[in-house]
Amino acid sequence: MIGYKAFDENLVNRYGKKFELNYEYTIEGEIKFGSYGFHFCTNLEDTLRYVDGSNAVIAIVESLGDLQKYDDEYNGYYDMFVTNKIKIIKVLTKEDILKYMFKLPEFRIIRLISSYFQFTEEDLQMLETVYLNNDNVMKAIRYYQRNDLDAYKIL
C-alpha cells in the first residue's frame, strides 16, 4: 500500500527516528495505531497533524508489511495506518505538493490550507490566482495562511 508520511526537514519523525530514502524499516512485535509501528496516511494533508508544518517534509511511502487501519471520524481524519515494515520512496517537493493539491476536492484543499503547513508568499499568490473564483478556498487562504481573522466574519 502506498501512502504519505511527514517528517521534519531532516527526515526525522516526531519520535526522533531518522529515516533515509529507499531503505526498508522493520519492527518486531504487535503493531498498534498511536503507539507502536510506522504510521502513515493515504491523504497527504492528514500527515500534517503530526509535525510542525513550517518545516514539514512529506514523503511517499510504501507499506511492505502488516497493516492496521485507524479512522478518527470525530476530527475528520480517515485512512490512517500503522505498519511493521515501511520504505520511504520519494520526498515530495513543494511543486509536487501543489500539483497534488490541484487534484483534490474543495474540502480537502481547505484542509491542506488550514493545516500547519506554511506556503511561501509566491505559493500563496499562485493559489490566489488559481482559486480566485472560489470563495471558500480564498477565505481559507486568508484566514489560515495570511492570518486575516476577519476572513470568516459575517457582515
- Write the CATH number for 58: 3.20.170
pLDDT of residue 48: 79
CA atoms 7, 10, 11, 12: torsion sign = negative
Asked if residue 23 is part of any domain, the answer here is: yes
Asked if residue 72 and residue 124 are part of one domain, the reply reads no
Distances (CA, A) of 102 to 96, 107, 108, 133, 155: 10, 12, 10, 14, 30
pLDDT of residue 76: 61
Neighbouring-strand partners of residue 87: 24, 62
For position 70, what pLDDT does the model report? 81
Q: Do 76 and 7 belong to one domain?
A: yes
- Compute the average pLDDT of residues 137-145: 96
Residue 23 belongs to what domain range?
2-91
Q: What is the pLDDT of residue 75?
A: 59
Span 88-109, mean pLDDT? 91
* pLDDT, tens digit, 9 for 90 and up, residues 109-140: 998 898 867 888 999 999 999 999 999 999 99
Phi, psi of 16 (to 5 degrees): 90, 5
The reply to whether 8 and 83 lie within a common domain is yes
Length in residues, the chain: 155
Q: What share of the chain in percent tops pLDDT 70? A: 93
State whether 108 and 55 are in the same domain. Answer: no
pLDDT digits 0-9 by tens, 44-78: 888 877 776 667 889 999 999 999 888 776 556 66
So what's the pLDDT on residue 14?
Answer: 81
